[in-house]
């Protein structure tokens, strides 16, 4: 839906110079419910790969490597729509989350905790057991 088939993808320029490390935040939203699932970071390569393949690619800050979301869990994020902000330094990926969960802790969303009376309370129940998906 994002890239044109059988044609070279036109690159949408983003302002990667806005951050010291050349990374920009990508907000990941469930395309149907609008729930925010996670936030990850993209560099130019992951941006290009996402546009070309229609699958969300990020830059893993911990592994310092290109990261196809779902490469180990199978929980790939299929891109349904991409939004770009006024300053071209943040994007929204509206996705179909395969496997039903975005968080490595097994929750549907990484934002499974809510501030309530000055404390954090857990708002969701896990969709999968991380030990089963990633190994113990």
* Nearest distance, CB of residue 93 and its own copies, angstroms: 10
For residues 66 and 92, which CB has a smaller minimum distance to its own copies in the complex?
92
3-state secondary structure labels for all residues of 10-77: CCCCCCHHHCCCCCEEEEEEECCCCCEEEEEEECHHHHHHHHHHCECEEEECCCCEEEECCCCCCCCE
* Nearest distance, CB of residue 110 and its own copies, angstroms: 4
Q: Are 111 and 27 in contact (CB under 8 A)?
A: no
Which residues of the chain form contacts with its own copies (CB under 8 A)? Answer: 2-4, 7, 9-12, 20-21, 25, 27, 29, 33-36, 38-39, 51, 81-87, 90, 92, 103-105, 107, 110-115, 117-120, 123
* Nearest distance, CB of residue 71 and its own copies, angstroms: 19
């Amino acid at each position: 839906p994002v890239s044109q088939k059988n044609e070279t993808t036109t690159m949408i320029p983003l302002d990667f110079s806005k951050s010291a490390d050349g990374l920009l935040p990508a907000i990941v939203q469930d395309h149907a419910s609008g729930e925010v699932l996670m936030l990850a970071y993209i560099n130019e390569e992951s941006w290009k790969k996402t546009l070309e393949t229609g699958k969300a690619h990020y830059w893993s800050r911990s592994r310092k490597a290109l990261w196809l979301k779902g490469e180990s869990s199978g929980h790939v994020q299929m891109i349904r729509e991409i939004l770009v902000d006024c300053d071209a330094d943040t994007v929204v990926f509206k996705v179909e989350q395969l496997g039903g969960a975005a968080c490595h802790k097994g929750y549907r969303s990484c934002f499974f905790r809510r501030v309530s009376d000055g404390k954090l309370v857990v708002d969701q129940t896990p969709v999968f057991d991380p030990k089963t998906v990633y190994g113990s």
